[in-house]
Structure 1
Amino acid sequence: MSHLQLVGVSKRYGAVQAVIDAALEVQDGEFVSLLGPSGSGKTSTLMMIAGFEEPSEGSILLGGQHVENVPSNRRDIGMVFQSYALFPHLSIAENVAFPLKVRRRPAAAIDAAVKRVLALVGLADKADRKPKQLSGGQQQRVALARALVYEPKLLLLDEPLSALDKNMREQMQIELRRIHQQVGITTLYVTHDQSEAMTLSDRIVVFNHGRIEQVGTPLDVYAHPASRFAATFIGDSNIFDGRPGASPGELLAEGGFTVRASRPLAADRSGQACLLVRPEDIHIGQPPEGAVANTLVARVSSVLNMGSGLLVIAQYGGRELRVRAPVSALASAGEGASIPLWWTPESTWPIPPAATH
């Protein structure tokens, strides 16, 4: 069954529409990320689910029960904030025990629960320390332990890793995924980091200007974006604008170049259409003999060594094309070189030609 449902949820702050007609269902045990840039509505949505903000319209259901008028402390929700919000004068064990003491649980039960959850987050040996004696990643795990200790039915995390450095963020992503798989708690995770959402999530909810633009698995959202915004916000992209050609899936792109997709185009009222191809789907060289492929010759303007490969920026017909290539391609793809490029119609995806808002 759906553990969480949003039905036509909107939020206004004066004249500002922060969230517009949001509809979402989250299943028991899912890890769902709310992804979007600052001001897109994802945090406002999380705050309404938590009970810290009231929706202007719509309904929020937890376990099938309406909670719009239920106080936040009665919604059985665990919350992890970006700032950790630990009590500096209390030990780690006392910080984690705090929600259970507020709920007047027996002392023996509190002690057992604190030991269990500190072991879960790998901090059993840090129980007597103060927050200032821990690293940022360890403090974040304390905040997570405190949210889990009373076994809430829903866990909300508001950009919890944004204050950590790159290596620590990646380590904490692994830890969060491990803990979620072990505990199985339904989780909503707010982030503006696309790679974080792709790494952690069962599904991603893409927000833009207060609206939900797409909901899908990381693979679906990346490979089959439902809007131009989703195509450009998640991952690197090459977008071809133009008008449909004579054949299905054929685009007469700006600059006089023809691009072919294996799926029909979706033109707008003005007759404009749009195709997307990801940089890693474009290959340097000639296509295999007999293969159906899009081909062109471009001039390399710059090459960036990304460690695991190259990002080649090439120019053709007055526009830029981004290509992911192995490091071995550097010999033939140096700056100023003219290079043949090809990609398949199957890797070319039709998207709406303009922003939806």
Structure 2
Amino acid sequence: MTLDVPALDAGRLAAIRAPLLAWYDRQKRDLPWRRTKEPYAIWLSEVMLQQTQVSTVIPYWERFLARFPSVQALAAAPLEDVLAAWKGLGYYSRARNLHRAAQEVTAQFGGRFPSTAKALLTLPGFGRYTAGAVASIAFGEEAPLVDGNVARVLSRLFVVEGLPGDRAREARLWALAGALVKGERPGDFNQALMEHGATVCRPERPLCLLCPVREACLAYQTGRTAELPPAKVRATPKLLTLALAVWPHGDTLLFARRAEKGLFGGLWELPAVEVAPGAPEAEAATRLSEALEVPLTAQGVLGTVKRQLTHRALTLHLLRVTGPQRPSRAAAFHELRWCTPAQASELGMSTAMQRALDAALAKGVLPDVAR
């Protein structure tokens, strides 16, 4: 895509670049990953910050680094341990890709991260944004990046039209980011763009009077900051209903680990199967019996947990069950395990499934001593 010449005028780019860097030096937040140039630590922060707020990420980042202090340590760890350390952050495909990429870095690059965005793109889970972030911040490459914050800043500075996801709009944003990053301190400049979008050029009520580049902002000059960028049209979440087996035995419950692909891939749960909304208890029990490959008897519904995921409206029906034969393996699940609640707390489990477990325990399915 060819950009118009005025948008890429060198003088205008300099008028944006220098003030933003100076503002970043004065106003940047003191975040722990900004105190290092270690690519592993920077990569970890960038992956965690996708879809997650900074205040939530900081303690996770610190605990994760303490548990897996190097890319080699992460590569050598069982995936189950990695998912357990990720517990509560959501979007678990990020953790699975972290693990796979760490193994690639160790096996293919001797434990040293490639220093260019082009090479980083060959690793699992590395898209253009992550590759640009690590290459520029850790290695000083003039590699652009565009995330939601950067897209908003550039859309306003240069009046970039089009809905999020539009190919022509995305190409223009990346071209602008590529032009702006060229020069001194490319990593700091990329962080300045992101920081500006997070703290000043906000989605709603942007702080234009505090903006160091407002005189160069075409949206500010034309009174269009409120309408740029246009809001992304979100698809209606799909309904998903699961029946969960709450099967007590002594002071333990039955838990299952899902296959590594798909929703909640690789995570632990009270064994679950998909059912139609409003499915009768007997039908849910039959489906669970088939999945666990043992006969079981339903003893009543303990309750329902509802969770709103990004693309799904999730309903979890808790079905108390029992049976003459305790299962130890089933083809529908990667692994089965009988655990006390204390043991289950160490498993990698999604927030939705943790809420379901909490609801089941609150119904007194286990002796008090086990809780």
TM-score by length of 2: 0.28
Name the structure with the higher helix share: 2
Name the structure with the higher strand share: 1
TM-score by length of 1: 0.29
